[in-house]
Structure 1
Amino acid sequence: MDYQLVIKFWRKSLADEAFLATIESELKAVLGDAVVLEGYDVSAKEINLFMVTADPKPTFRRVRDVLERLGVVNGVSAAFRLVGGARFTSVWPLRSTRKFTLP
C-alpha cells in the first residue's frame, strides 16, 4: 500500500457529526482489506479521516458511495499522496480549484 487517502469533512457544511461514530465500521465493511484505516485528525474547521491504500481513486469511489448514503458527500473534499509525501492530488470534488492542505 503506497498511498494515503485523506477524506476531509468540512464542519460548517455538516448538519451534525453523528455519522462519525459508525463511518469506520461502514467503510471497513465496504473496503475490507483493501485499506488500512489510520484514524482522524480533528480541528475546529475540519475532520480528516486517513487511510492507506494501494489504489486511491477506486478506493475513493467506494468511499463516496458510503458518503452519499450517509448524506454527507457535499461537505467533503478528498485527496491522496504517496505515504510520507507532501504533495496531494485531489479526487473530490471533481472540479476543485482549492489546494488540498492539512492543518
Structure 2
Amino acid sequence: MDYQLVIKFWRKSLDDEAFLATLEAELSAALGSAATLDGHDISAKEINLFMYTGDPRPTFRRAKDVLERLGVMHSVSAAYRLVGGAQFTSVWPLRMARKFTLP
C-alpha cells in the first residue's frame, strides 16, 4: 500500500465525535482489503482519519458512499500522498481552492 489517504472532517460542522467508532467500522467493512485504517487524530478545528491504500481515488469513491449514507459529506475534504511524502493531492472536493494540510 503505497499511499496514505486522509479524510478531514471540520469539527464545527459535526454534532460530536462519537460517530468515529461507527464510521471506522463502516469504512472497514466497505473498503475490505482495498485499504487499511490507521486511526485518527483530533484537534480543536478538525478530525483527520488516516488509511493506507494502493489506489487512493477508487478507495475514496467507496469511502464516499459510506460518508454520504452517514450524512457527513458536507464537512469533508480528502487528499492522498505517497507514504512518507509531504505533497498532498486533493480528491475531495473536486475543485479544492485551499491547499490540503495537516495540523
Q: Report the TM-score range of the alignment, normalised by the length of the smaller protein.
A: over 0.9
- TM-score, structure 1 normalization: 0.96
Partner of 2:4: 4
Question: Residue type of the partner of 2:87?
Answer: R
1:62 aligned counterpart, secondary structure? helix
Could you say what the CA RMSD is over the residues aligned between the two structures, in angstroms? 0.8
Residues 17-63 of structure 1: CA distance to partner in whole angstroms, max 9, x if unpaired? 33212111101110111111100011000000000000000000000
Partner of 2:98: 98
- TM-score, structure 2 normalization: 0.96
Partner of 1:38: 38
Unpaired segments of 5 or more residues in structure 1? none
Verify the 8 A CA contact 1:38 1:50 in the aligned structure 2.
Answer: yes
- Percent of paired sites with the same residue: 78
1-structure distance, mates of 2:34, 2:83: 15
Residues 2-30 of structure 1: CA distance to partner in whole angstroms, max 9, x if unpaired? 00000000001113333212111101110
Partner of 2:28: 28
The answer to whether structure 1 residue 89 and structure 2 residue 97 are counterparts is no
Unpaired segments of 5 or more residues in structure 2? none
1-structure distance, mates of 2:49, 2:13: 16
Verify the 8 A CA contact 1:14 1:75 in the aligned structure 2.
Answer: yes
